[in-house]
Structure 1
Amino acid sequence: MRTICAKNIENAERFKQQLLLWSQQYNEVVFLDSNRYQQRYSHYDAVLAVEAFTSIKTDYYNAFDDLKQYQQQTKDWLFGYLSYDMKNAVEDLHSENFDGLAFPDLFFFQPKKLFLLKGTLLEIQYLRLCDDEIESDFTSITNYPQRITNNNVTLSAVEGQQLKIAQRISKENYIAKVTEMLSHIHRGDIYEANFCMEFYAENVRIEPVAIYQKLNAISRPPFATYFKNNQQYLLGASPERYLRKEGCKVISQPIKGTAKRYSDAASDEKSKTDLAQNPKERSENVMIVDLVRNDLSHTATKGSVVVEELCGIYSFEQVHQMISTVVSTVAESTSPIDILKTTFPMGSMTGAPKISAMKIIEDLEETKRGLYSGAVGYFTPNNDFDFNVVIRSILYNAQKEYLSFSVGSAITSQAIPEQEYEECLLKAKAMFEVLR
């Protein structure tokens, strides 16, 4: 049983920063920030879960079954992630590419301390409460500074060397690989596939909170994530929801279609209009919507899968995005893990048909995706959940001193390899900016 209390917060933005800094004393941290982005099905403004009471960490083998058992036993809040390579638990697939990060395929924990912020109302939930612990922690949080004081030293390479960000696939090699993917499309092997490449730095030390704060400040996404598991970090600025469950309703909001933002209002509006009318971008989005509809149908009640919004245009700090919303209804008895298992990985990061696309992706990409293009989120005690898509994010293993971020784009028959490469660089812009 959790002890629950409520507090009124005078300055929610300041409190969020204090909450994040205060959390760094714990080994397990999940901090989620919506940045008050007004999007359909938005919920909490911010959530913090810290300090594992129990946890599960495993590779992909039988992982969904293990997670289902863990979720049914705890019947509590659970926070964590599914890596992209959980696909290997669902289909006869493998991940043999290079992995510099070495994160587990799946990790979830039951937090001792939980903070849920909505507007100026804060709900605090603690497990195994000690006398006055909530009041003591709340006082400590409100006395924290808003930013790291030595923020001028946020990045360094080991032994004083300058940080160098390398590219796993060269531009020439990228174009050759996309051309090969196009040949698969023209043969009819697939209709669309999401092809990704990694940027990385070795022998690097960073201050994760400072980097996250910078990334979030320039992106302001609805699914910002700071994740810590001992020395493994995710610093995320994702604009995309993978899947949400509210009661018997399941919501998916895939993104396909990207356009540049401009400081000039007229140019920015034109970019937005061009995106909405671009036949290639729309076809990418519609293909993934069809895939999502099929995925949701595996657990949906008959006739309940509906496209609530098709190819809506949403603006973020760095880019305009094309987002669709697909919903379904499930029976009350349906396991939340089964809903995830029958839809994972998300269509926006794979392609269509999904299994064929994933096989071709694995052959052409040179890095194991791991947590990139996986999902971070939480389960509630009443079997609801909310998960994002891990994109526009920096991954860091402090023990290995290895930093990584990946970007990708959807390849269809209309794709021009050079333009797809430029789209990848556009998506990487924010990560480069904070790391420089």
Structure 2
Amino acid sequence: MIIPVNDLPVFKQKALQWASSFDAVCYLDSNNFTDQYGKFDTLIAIGVADEVIAYAGDAFEQLEAFRERNPGWITGFLGYDLKNETEQLTSANPDGLLFPDLYFFAPQHLIIITGDQVQVVSDNSKHVFDLIDQQQLTAAGPLPAIGLKARFSRQEYIKAVQGIQEHINRGDIYVTNFCQEFFAENARINPLAIFTQLNTVSPNPFSTFFKWKDNYILGASPERFLAKRGSKLISQPIKGTAKRDADTQTDELIKQQLRNHPKELQENVMIVDLVRNDLTRSAKQGTVETTELFGIHSFKYVHQMISTVICELQEGLSAIQAIKNTFPMGSMTGAPKISSMMLMEQYERSKRGVYSGAIGYLSEDNDFDFNVVIRTLLYNSDRQYLSFHAGSAITYHADAQKEYEECLLKAQAVLEVLGGLK
């Protein structure tokens, strides 16, 4: 059912407010970024008609069976620690969130917004629209400062980076993504208000509000992990970050410096090679190609270096298998992939969980699109535990001080919303 809407931003706010009262909701917003691979501007999946909850071991097998049971739209998340299923790896670091490794649901109601058109898919679409239209938007008021704590002090982080670089010098790895957690215990927040503020402060093309019972994922991700469009797979890894400047000329100079920075180019091309290798597992022979290398894309706080790698999907290979073949994404692991993941398990101080994982959907035509869970708050309201990770690429040429500052830059929007670090 296609329904005309006069004020689309207000409708989206009302729809999300109504949706957040359900046990499960997945809100995906492109924030009007131009994307040749996007199927819609906003997707809101609401309520549970069917669901699957799984942990590393047989999670992808369970998801495959769930998909066969539910061939229409499904949405959900894949946690980073599914690496323990795709490879012979383990995760033993502390976990304050206790999210499952995989959760997907088939929605009772679906809202798809494209341009100024709103499509409501439900057993009673008109009733759903009326319920949304009748919503009275509630003002959240000023958000209380939370004051996140860091797992690493600046000096501890620098020492860890220096230790990682010793492994690079020995040839154990070439590049890795080293992540640190910022967290708060006994945290009481209004997840919807926090997301609304975060999406206002830092609107990004893969923004997400995901709720499953007491668990929330509040994301402002700029990165696509993997999409399927017909017979084509598309991956767009980000490697390379630079802070924006309010002065136009200075900002343009920063872009050019990023475009030509040896360290940023090095880390980007190494991850592109890794992604190309991952895609060969799912590709028709000879079809993997890099259609954009070192593209500079601008967001509110940062410029990012993004490359695009595509291929033709092997005939007979399922969508779920194609996702599994490339998971976790190379931009969040390193190269060689397995060695980097093993090493980061030693150096990092908390389990990544959903961070470094992916959130997205499979549509009724069996296309899919998944983001990379970065620039994202994770919250378990039952445990009152709030978590945010930030990472940066460590190479031979990396400056530990600058990498620490890059983590804080990536955390800037979240810290602004939550009131900074303690």
| TM-score w.r.t. length of structure 1 | 0.94
Q: Work out whether residues 155 and 207 of structure 1, in 8 Å CA contact, stay in contact via their aligned partners in 2.
A: no
Partner of residue 12, structure 1: 8
Partner of residue 118, structure 1: 114
Q: What are the Cα deviations for residues 182-226 of structure 1, in whole angstroms up to 9, with x where unaligned? A: 011111111100000000011010000110011111111000000
Q: 2:135 aligns with which of 129, 144, 149?
A: 144
Q: Work out whether residues 37 and 229 of structure 2, in 8 Å CA contact, stay in contact via their aligned partners in 1.
A: no
Q: What are the Cα deviations for residues 370-399 of structure 1, in whole angstroms up to 9, with x where unaligned? A: 000100001112221100000001110000
Q: Give how far 1:6 is off.
A: 1.3
Q: Give how far 1:332 is off.
A: 4.1
What is the SS of the residue equivalent to 1:52? strand
Q: Residues 304-323 of structure 1: matches in 2 within 5 Å?
A: 304-323=287-306
Matched, 1:197 2:180: yes
Partner of residue 21, structure 1: 17
Q: Residues 272-421 of structure 1: matches in 2 within 5 Å?
A: 272-421=255-404
CA RMSD in angstroms, aligned pairs only: 1.1
| Equivalent-residue separation in structure 1 for 2:144 and 2:384 (angstroms) | 12
| Equivalent-residue separation in structure 2 for 1:164 and 1:114 (angstroms) | 36
Poorly superposed stretches of 4+, deviation over 4 Å: none
Q: Work out whether residues 48 and 106 of structure 2, in 8 Å CA contact, stay in contact via their aligned partners in 1.
A: yes
Q: What are the Cα deviations for residues 237-289 of structure 1, in whole angstroms up to 9, with x where unaligned? A: 00000000011000000000000011111111111111111111011110000
Distance 1:332 1:7, change over 3 A: farther
Alignment gaps of 5+ in structure 2: none
| Equivalent-residue separation in structure 2 for 1:68 and 1:150 (angstroms) | 40
Partner of residue 234, structure 1: 217
Identical amino acids, percent of aligned pairs: 48
Distance 1:40 1:277, change over 3 A: farther
Q: What are the Cα deviations for residues 303-361 of structure 1, in whole angstroms up to 9, with x where unaligned? A: 11010100100000010000000000013421011111110000000000000000001
Partner of residue 81, structure 2: 85
Q: 1:177 aligns with which of 147, 156, 160?
A: 160
| TM-score w.r.t. length of structure 2 | 0.97
| Equivalent-residue separation in structure 1 for 2:35 and 2:71 (angstroms) | 29
| Equivalent-residue separation in structure 1 for 2:399 and 2:227 (angstroms) | 34
Matched, 1:104 2:100: yes
| Equivalent-residue separation in structure 2 for 1:70 and 1:332 (angstroms) | 21
What is the SS of the residue equivalent to 1:25? coil
Q: Work out whether residues 32 and 223 of structure 1, in 8 Å CA contact, stay in contact via their aligned partners in 2.
A: yes
Partner of residue 233, structure 2: 250
What is the SS of the residue equivalent to 2:193? helix
Query: What is the one-letter code of the residue matched to 1:305?
Result: V
| Equivalent-residue separation in structure 1 for 2:294 and 2:14 (angstroms) | 37
| Equivalent-residue separation in structure 1 for 2:314 and 2:187 (angstroms) | 49
Query: What is the one-letter code of the residue matched to 2:82?
Result: M
Q: Give how far 1:9 is off.
A: 2.1
What is the SS of the residue equivalent to 1:333? coil
Partner of residue 159, structure 1: none
Partner of residue 32, structure 2: 36
Q: Give how far 1:151 is off.
A: 2.4
Partner of residue 94, structure 1: 90
Q: Give how far 1:150 is off.
A: 3.4
Partner of residue 55, structure 1: 51
Alignment gaps of 5+ in structure 1: 157-162
Q: Work out whether residues 254 and 347 of structure 1, in 8 Å CA contact, stay in contact via their aligned partners in 2.
A: yes
What is the SS of the residue equivalent to 1:431? helix
Q: Work out whether residues 219 and 373 of structure 2, in 8 Å CA contact, stay in contact via their aligned partners in 1.
A: yes
What is the SS of the residue equivalent to 2:266? helix
Q: Work out whether residues 155 and 205 of structure 1, in 8 Å CA contact, stay in contact via their aligned partners in 2.
A: no
What is the SS of the residue equivalent to 1:203? coil
Q: Give how far 1:13 is off.
A: 1.9
| Equivalent-residue separation in structure 2 for 1:170 and 1:176 (angstroms) | 10
Matched, 1:65 2:61: yes
Greater alpha carbon shift after TM alignment, 137-146 vs 73-82: 137-146
Q: What are the Cα deviations for residues 396-434 of structure 1, in whole angstroms up to 9, with x where unaligned? A: 000000101000000011101111001001111111000
| Equivalent-residue separation in structure 1 for 2:217 and 2:176 (angstroms) | 25
Q: Give how far 1:149 is off.
A: 1.7
Query: What is the one-letter code of the residue matched to 1:143?
Result: Q
Partner of residue 155, structure 1: 144
Q: Give how far 1:110 is off.
A: 0.5
Query: What is the one-letter code of the residue matched to 1:125?
Result: V
